[in-house]
A and B are shown apart, each in its own frame.
Chain A
Amino acid sequence: SQQGEEDPQALSIQEGENATMNCSYKTSINNLQWYRQNSGRGLVHLILIRSNEREKHSGRLRVTLDTSKKSSSLLITASRAADTASYFCATSSTGGSRLTFGEGTQLTVNP
């Protein structure tokens, strides 16, 4: 079964606004990762947060993890048109090496 589910499925914002995407998962995890995919391209790793971490920052990205709610959020601040892409969360289960991707959020940033 799919480990992660994301919402919203699609998000359209104006340049300069913040974008927030959410991910929920079902089982205990080792870590949670976020990836970005431009249309028809490969995935690019953005950030990894371990199960014992609650928040992590990388540039304009902020990721939170709430293991009690089995959920994570990705915040992109001061969005740019170049941030237009699909964003996927991916979870690695405790004791496992399999990385399972959520359904993804399609982000469109309008100039």
Chain B
Amino acid sequence: DTEVTQTPKHLVMGMTNKKSLKCEQHMGHRAMYWYKQKAKKPPELMFVYSYEKLSINESVPSRFSPECPNSSLLNLHLHALQPEDSALYLCASSQPLSAGELFFGEGSRLTVL
């Protein structure tokens, strides 16, 4: 069982909708990550939070807005998405930016109509 919990598991939204993906971990990790993964491709880094502060933004379009309310929670707010944004969104956590092991959630499968 994963110790990183992502909700919802599946999300279908229209291009004008506003929705959020949520991620929670209780391992005391102080680094949290959002990755995007298209079918048959590797995960691509989107954002990294370290000690609740955004430390890496991989030039992600502003229609994706991350938020880290506390050390256990990570959100990804979605607005005005495009069909090509349909993908598996993976949350991960680790010891603070130690370049060690990442612990992944099961992902949220997003479909944009």
Contact = CB atoms under 8 A, between A and B. Distances in A.
Interface of A: 2, 30-31, 33, 35, 40-45, 48, 88, 92, 96-104, 106
Contacts of A42: 2, 4, 6, 90, 104-107
Contacts of B44: 101
Interface of B: 2, 4, 6, 31, 40-45, 48, 50, 55-56, 88, 90, 92, 97-107, 109
Contacts of B92: 43
Contact of B56 (A31, A98, A103): A98
B90 A43 contact: yes
Contacts of A45: 101-103
A104 B109 CA distance: 20
Given A31-B99, A88-B42, A104-B42, 15 more contacts: A33-B101, A35-B102, A35-B104, A40-B107, A41-B106, A42-B4, A42-B90, A43-B43, A48-B101, A96-B99, A97-B50, A97-B99, A98-B56, A101-B42, A103-B42
A103 B88 CA distance: 16
Nearest to B39: A40
Contact of A100 (B45, B106, B107): B45
A interface, over-half SS:
strand
Contacts of B4: 42
Contacts of B43: 43, 88, 101
B21 to A, nearest CB: 13
Nearest to B97: A97
A33 B102 CA distance: 10
Contacts of A88: 42-43
B65 to A, nearest CB: 21
A92 B40 CA distance: 22
A40 B109 contact: yes
Contacts of A35: 102, 104
B107 A41 contact: yes
Nearest to B90: A42
Complex A-B, nearest 4 residue pairs according to Cβ-Cβ distance, in ascending order? A101-B42, A92-B99, A42-B104, A97-B97
A99 B104 contact: no
